[in-house]
Structure 1
């Protein structure tokens, strides 16, 4: 993933994260149980953190080994889509089984940060 693509994705992820947080705080309040509202908040929180992480990977790219840096960005994007996406879908559909794939997204996010460290070490 190129730094330019990571910046594009990071900015869009952050904009959508703010919108998701606002929707959770205002639009979902009367529609879902409080525990599902907390699940939504967790999804938005991790989305915002990893959206900023995408910008960080892009900003640091010139100081990192190129291949692992690209992998770090890809893993981070995939992780936040799977993690936050599965939680959003679970809240909106009520399909609790979707929570079973959420840890895969979390693992991808962890791997992205470890790969970022590897990219720094390899430079």
Structure 2
């Protein structure tokens, strides 16, 4: 993935997290509170925003450092965010608790992304 593309994806993901956060705080607050899923929804929004910012910063780093691990990190951030936050959003919307079983897979992708980022920067010289 190019540095420009990862910055664009991170920016779009950040905008989506703001929209979903506002939607959850206003339109969905009562139903999320009633179902006991408000905290879960907030976690999804927070993690999406954190990793949107990480993608933007990674894109900037990729301008200065080139290493294939940084490219792997970009894919891992994207896949991890989609699986982690996405599964939590769907869980909150549908109440299908089995979706919670795939959330840790997204978490593993996010952990891998951070490790790949560290290795990629460390190996790029």
Structure 1 unpaired stretches of 5+: none
Deviation >6 Å, runs of 4+: none
Q: How many residues align?
A: 123
Look up the match of 1:57: 58
Look up the match of 1:94: 95
Structure 2 Cα separation of the partners of residues 119 and 63 of structure 1: 12
Structure 2 Cα separation of the partners of residues 122 and 91 of structure 1: 40
Residue 54 of structure 1: SS of its match in structure 2? helix
Alignment of 1:3-82 (within 5 A): 3-32=3-32, 33=34, 35-82=36-83
Normalising by structure 2, what TM-score?
0.94
Deviation at 1:30, TM superposition (A): 1.6
Tell me whether 27-36 or 11-20 shows the greater mean CA deviation: 27-36
> What is the RMSD of the two structures over their aligned residues, measured on CA atoms?
1.0
